[in-house]
Structure formats: structure tokens, C-alpha cells
């Protein structure tokens, strides 16, 4: 009598059945089955969802966002600026060559409105500023000879000497003397500064669409000499008064001129190139860019010096300048009809309408009283078509 063959493990048999089932299901064909459900509430939900999706695509996607257009952002841009005007301080008349830095007329420039001038500095020895950390002293022992403070004004000599004014003493330093705090004179240039005029010439180019335009259109002789910017009547006369720019940024001119600050002039070119070029116009906005509410970093100032010689020795005038820095920022986007984004967004819209069917199917099969009946009607398996002979009868 032959020995009985060992039975394969139960796990292996289960795995084989699962594999056969998956392989068989892989070749199944599924087709939607249409069931008409006579339920008014479900029909209202279905049509409402379809209507909302349709409104979203028609109004927001196609009308507001203009998704039928090919778009380009960040135009190539050129900015040229020119400032004109004169002003008075307590000691002299100032013209544009003296209060505009740098003078090249780029997109970033500063208009000096207040100066702290330290005249006739020469290389020598003098008391250090009391504002420098550990500069005050009582005797020479408090001052280390040769010590160099990175925030100071020179190399310490090792002597403790009386300050420029008052009874205090500071360590003596070797450098440009007298130091800034000891002999500076303040001069305010902001008296007539609100009337300074600033010409901002801007040209943009969208290379994808080969479209170019500038913010000056009327080339009639003498036009720019007699106009200033007005959003309605002189949109293409980009000559702004400094006081107008500061006012539009919501700032007080006197306070800004005293402490300095940074004002952004933003030029936005949003162009619909399906329309005529005359509809592509610049839009100007103005706002303060530096954090004025943070005392540690508010305001704007910088230093520079003017050098000359007196009796063969080098002398300089040190100037700490407070001013209004103007940053001209250009951005924008252009759009033009293109078939590819139109087809893509139309296909997306038509596909999204099917969300209504998905939602109503979920309600139908989950919350309706006869959900099992609906489930049986909706998901039907036809076994008569499992062999080629059944298929041939179709």
C-alpha cells in the first residue's frame, strides 16, 4: 500500500487562491451602470453641486484668473531716475549735486534731508567718544595703550583726558580728530525738500510675447517740463514730488526727514495682451519699507567724507547723513490666449463636474433607507460573459 502524499501547508493554498483571484480580477471589465433614482432631495443636492462647480470654473477660473491665457511674470525692466530742486539749511544753499547719493540716477538712491557735520578733522590725538563702550575713565590705569575698539574711533594711547565738554573724562585715541560726537554740527535740509521733483523713467519688456512699453508716451516737446503725475489726467507723466510720495506712503514728512527712512515706489504692469496695448498701463503704489516701529533699527543714515589739504596736511569733513531712500520696484505679469491652457482647464472643469455624482452615490449608499437595495442594483456582476462564447453573442 502506497504511502499517502503529504498535504501542502494551509497558508500556501490560501496564497495560491488569492493569487488566482487577483489574476482573474485583473482581466475583469467594469462599466458604469445608470440607475435613475426618483428622489427630489438627492436631485437638488446633485444639481446644486454641479451648479457650484460650474460657477467656480466659469467665474473664478476663466473670468477672474483668466486661466485660458498663457502667462509670463517678472518683466525685464529698466529704471532711470532724476531729481531736481534746491533747498536751504542754516548755513548754505544746497543743490541736487550735493544732496542726492549716488548721482547716477538708478533705481535706488538717497535724498539727504539732515546732516551732522564734523568739520576740519585731521590725524592726531583726542578724547574718545563717550558713546563707545568702556571709553570713560578716572585715571590712566583705566586706558590700555594700543587697545583698538572696533566700534571706536582710533587706537588708545593709554592716557585718560578731559572730554570736549562737561566734567567727564575718556580715554585718549589716535585717529581722525576731533571725533564725531565731540564737534558735530547739525544741519537740516528738509525745509524745501517736499517740493523736490523726481522723474522715474521705466521701460518693461515681456520676451515671451515680444511686448514692450514705457511709462512715458507723450513725446510732445516740453510736455515733461510742465506736468506732474496725476493718476487720471497725467498717468504717463512720471514726475513725482517728494512730498507726494511720502504722503502716499502714509508718513509724516518732518519726522521722516529728521530720522530718515526707506520708501518703496512700486510700479505694477499687469497686462492683458488679448486687448490693445493702450489697456496695458502702469499702476503706482507707495509704502515705507524699513521697520519704523522697531527703535533699534528704525530710520536711515550713512556716513561719507570730503577730503582736502590745508598747508600740506590732509584734512576732511565727516558727514553723517540722514535721508529718504527711494527704492523703485517693478513687477507685473502678462497674459495672452493660448489653446493648451484652455483645453487643460476645460478638461479639468468637465472632470470636476463628476464630483456631484460621487457625492450623491455616497449619500445614496450610506444614508438612504434602502441603501442595500440601491447597492445591489448599482453593483451587478454578469457571469454570462466570462467565456468567449458569451462574448460572441453580443
Q: Residues 202-210: what's their mean pLDDT?
A: 94
Rounded to two decimals, what is the model's pTM? Answer: 0.76
Question: Which grid cell sits at 298?
Answer: 528704525
| Cβ–Cβ < 8 Å for 313, 326 | no
Identify the top-confidence range among 31-40, 327-336, 373-382: 327-336
Q: Residues 93-104: what's their mean pLDDT?
A: 89
Whether the CA torsion 276, 278, 279, 284 is positive or negative: it is positive
Residue 120 clears pLDDT 70, i.e. is over it: yes
Residue 40 clears pLDDT 70, i.e. is over it: yes
Strand intervals (E) in 128-221: 154-162, 169-177, 185-188, 197-206, 211-214
Per-residue pLDDT at 15 = 81
DSSP strand pairing (185-188 vs 197-206): unpaired
| Cβ–Cβ < 8 Å for 101, 321 | yes
| Cβ–Cβ < 8 Å for 206, 271 | yes
Per-residue pLDDT at 195 = 93
DSSP H stretches of helix in the chain: 10-26, 40-55, 96-99, 180-183, 242-248, 253-259, 339-352, 355-366, 371-378, 388-392
| Cβ–Cβ < 8 Å for 112, 189 | yes
- The residue assigned the cell 547723513 is 321
| Cβ–Cβ < 8 Å for 287, 261 | no
Strand intervals (E) in 11-90: 69-73, 76-84, 87-88
DSSP strand pairing (108-127 vs 87-88): unpaired
Share of the chain above pLDDT 90, in %: 48
Share of the chain above pLDDT 70, in %: 87
Q: What is the mean pLDDT of the chain?
A: 85
Question: CA–CA separation, 178 vs 154, rounded Å?
Answer: 11
Q: Residues 84-89: what's their mean pLDDT?
A: 89
Amino acid at each position: 500500500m502506497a504511502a499517502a502524499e503529504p498535504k501542502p501547508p494551509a497558508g500556501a493554498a490560501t496564497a495560491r487562491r488569492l493569487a488566482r483571484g487577483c489574476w482573474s480580477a485583473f482581466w475583469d471589465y467594469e462599466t458604469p451602470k445608470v440607475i435613475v433614482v426618483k428622489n427630489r432631495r438627492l436631485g437638488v443636492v446633485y444639481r446644486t453641486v454641479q451648479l457650484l462647480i460650474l460657477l467656480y470654473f466659469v467665474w473664478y477660473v476663466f473670468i477672474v484668473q483668466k486661466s485660458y491665457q498663457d502667462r509670463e511674470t517678472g518683466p525685464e525692466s529698466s529704471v532711470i531716475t532724476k531729481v531736481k530742486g534746491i533747498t536751504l539749511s542754516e548755513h548754505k544753499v544746497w543743490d541736487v549735486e550735493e544732496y542726492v547719493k549716488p548721482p547716477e540716477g538708478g533705481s535706488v538712491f538717497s535724498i539727504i534731508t539732515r546732516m551732522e557735520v564734523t568739520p576740519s578733522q585731521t590725524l592726531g590725538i583726542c578724547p574718545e567718544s563717550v558713546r563707545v563702550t568702556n571709553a570713560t575713565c578716572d585715571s590712566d590705569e583705566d586706558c590700555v595703550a594700543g587697545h583698538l575698539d572696533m566700534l571706536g574711533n582710533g587706537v588708545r594711547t593709554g592716557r585718560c583726558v578731559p572730554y570736549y565738554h562737561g566734567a567727564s573724562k575718556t580715554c585718549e585715541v589716535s585717529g581722525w580728530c576731533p571725533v564725531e560726537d565731540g564737534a558735530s554740527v547739525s544741519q537740516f535740509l528738509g525745509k524745501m525738500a517736499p517740493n523736490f521733483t523726481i522723474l522715474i523713467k521705466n521701460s518693461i519688456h515681456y520676451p515671451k510675447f515680444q511686448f514692450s512699453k514705457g511709462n512715458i508716451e507723450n513725446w510732445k516737446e516740453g510736455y515733461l517740463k510742465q506736468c506732474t503725475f496725476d493718476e487720471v489726467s497725467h498717468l504717463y507723466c512720471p514726475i513725482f514730488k517728494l512730498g507726494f510720495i511720502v504722503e502716499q506712503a502714509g508718513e509724516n514728512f518732518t519726522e521722516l526727514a529728521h530720522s530718515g527712512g526707506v520708501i518703496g515706489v512700486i510700479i505694477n504692469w499687469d497686462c492683458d495682451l488679448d486687448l490693445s496695448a493702450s489697456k496695458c498701463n502702469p499702476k503706482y503704489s507707495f509704502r515705507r519699507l524699513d521697520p519704523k516701529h522697531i527703535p533699534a533699527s528704525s530710520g536711515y543714515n550713512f556716513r561719507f567724507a570730503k577730503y582736502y589739504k590745508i598747508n600740506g596736511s590732509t584734512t576732511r569733513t565727516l558727514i553723517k547723513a540722514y535721508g529718504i531712500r527711494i527704492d523703485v520696484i517693478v513687477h507685473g505679469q502678462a497674459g495672452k490666449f493660448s489653446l493648451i491652457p484652455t483645453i487643460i482647464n476645460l478638461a479639468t472643469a468637465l472632470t470636476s463636474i463628476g464630483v456631484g455624482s460621487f457625492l450623491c452615490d455616497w449619500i445614496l449608499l450610506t444614508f438612504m433607507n434602502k441603501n442595500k437595495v440601491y447597492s445591489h442594483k448599482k453593483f451587478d456582476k454578469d457571469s454570462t460573459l466570462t467565456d468567449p462564447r458569451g462574448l460572441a453573442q453580443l
